[in-house]
Amino acid sequence: MRNNNDHFSGDLFDQANEWYHRLHGDSVTEADRRAFCEWCAQSPDHEAAWEEVQTFAADIRMTLARPPVQATVPSLRRARRLRQSVLAIGMAAIALMVFVQMPSSWMDRFRADYLTGHGERRTIALADGTTVILDTDTALKLLPESDGRGVTLLHGEAWFAVHHDAQHPFRVLSGNGRITDVGTRFDVRHLDQTTTVAVQEGIVDVSVGSSSTLPPDHLRLNIGQGVTYGPRGLGGAQEVDPSTIASWRTGTLVFQQRPLREVIAELNRYEGSHLVLAAFSGRDRPISGTFMVGTGSKTLPALQEALGLRGLHLTPWVTVLY
C-alpha cells in the first residue's frame, strides 16, 4: 500500500492519459479493454494515475454542462491532485472558442462566395485570370462587377497571383483597408480585426481609413515587404523573406521569434484537436522553427518534446498542454 505522501510519476499520468484517449476512441476493442484492466492491475500507482485522469476530464465536462463519459473499468481510487491551473485555463479557452470565435465565422459563411473548412485549402481561378489560393477556415466574397476587379477577404488567409491589367487594377478589401495591385503575387491575412499583407513579387498599394476617427493613410509595398493594419491604423513596412510568404500552401508554417501562445493559436487553425495552452509560465516564450501541418503531421509531439510539455487528450477534439 502507498501512503498519502507518495506521488506517482508523470510518466504514469501520461500512460493513463493515453489509455483514456484510446478507450474513448471509435475503434476501441474488447482486447483494448482487457489490456487496460491488466495495466491497471499491475500497481496501485497505475490505478491512481488513471483515477486522476478520470477526475480531471469529468470535472471539465461537468463545468461545460456535458455528462462525463463512463468507461468500463475496475473501481479506482480518487486522485489527490486535480491540476487546478490546467482546469481553469482549459475551461476558459474552450468557452472562448465555442462562444466567441464560432459565431463570427458562421456569419461570414452566409456572405461568402468561396469557403474553406478547418484544415482545408482551395484553389480558385477567377474570371479575369487571377488565381487565388484559400488557406484553412477562410471566407472570400467577390466584388460586384460595378466595383471593378477584386474580392473581399471576410476572414482567414489567401494568396493572390493577379492577372496583369494596367487599366483595371485588382483590389482586395480586408477589414478597414484596401490592397490595390496591378499584377503581382501577395498574401493577405485577416483575423481578429487585424490584416497583414506580404508581397512575394511586384508592388501593391495599401490604403487604410476613411472615417472621422481614422484619417486615410497609404503605403506602397515592394517585393519582400509586409505591413499590418487594424482599427488603430496602418503600421510601418517590415522586411519579409519572400520564400516564407504563404508557406502554408505547401503545408508548412514558419515561425520566427513568435510567442508560444501565438504559435499554439496558429496551429489550432490546422490541427484536428484544439490545443489549449494551460501553463501560466512560458506563454510568451519566443519560438522559431518550421512546422508541417495537415494529415499525418508530427508537429504536436515535436513541440511537446522540444518544450517539455505534456498533453491531456480530453476528447479527440480537445488537447490540453501543460
Question: Looking at the domain that runs over 113-241, which CATH code has it been given?
Answer: 2.60.120.1440
Unique residue bearing C-alpha cell 493577379: 162
Dist. CA 174–CA 153, nearest whole Å:
5
The answer to whether 217 touches 177, Cβ cutoff 8 Å, is no
Task: Indicate the domain borders of the chain.
Answer: 10-82, 86-108+251-321, 113-241
The set of residues, in sequence order, having a beta carbon less than 8 Å from that of 29 and lying 6+ positions away, is none
> Which set of grid coordinates corresponds to residue 157?
488567409
Query: CA angle, corner 24, sides to 21 and 26, nearest 5?
Result: 110
% of the chain at pLDDT higher than 90: 33
Report, as an integer, the average pLDDT of 191-216: 84
One-letter amino acid for residue 244 of the chain: T
The answer to whether 97 touches 90, Cβ cutoff 8 Å, is no
Q: Is the pLDDT of residue 99 over 50?
A: no
Dist. CA 78–CA 66, nearest whole Å:
20
At 221, give phi and psi (nearest 5°).
-110, 135
The answer to whether 317 touches 90, Cβ cutoff 8 Å, is no
Dist. CA 246–CA 211, nearest whole Å:
31
| Pairwise pLDDT comparison (148 vs 131), residue with the higher score | 131
> Which set of grid coordinates corresponds to residue 30?
474488447
The b-or-e profile of 126-150 (16+ CB within 10 A means b, else e) is beeebebbbbbbbbbebeeeeeebb
> Which set of grid coordinates corresponds to residue 140?
472570400
Q: Which residues pair with 255 in a beta bridge?
A: 289
Strand runs labelled E in 89-134:
114-115, 122-125, 131-134
Unique residue bearing C-alpha cell 508554417: 253
The helix or strand, by DSSP H or E, that contains position 186, with its residue range, turns out to be strand 185-191
pLDDT digits (tens, 9 = 90+) for 24-80: 666 678 888 888 888 888 888 888 878 877 766 554 444 433 343 444 444 444 444
pLDDT digits (tens, 9 = 90+) for 220-245: 999 999 999 998 889 999 999 999 99
pLDDT attached to residue 242: 92
Q: Is the pLDDT of residue 301 over 70?
A: yes
Return the CATH architecture of domain 86-108+251-321.
3-Layer(bab) Sandwich (3.55)
> Which set of grid coordinates corresponds to residue 162?
493577379
pLDDT attached to residue 80: 43
pLDDT, averaged across the chain = 79
Among 14-18, 35-39, 100-104, 318-322, which stretch is predicted with the lowest mean pLDDT?
Answer: 100-104
pLDDT digits (tens, 9 = 90+) for 250-268: 988 888 888 988 988 898 8
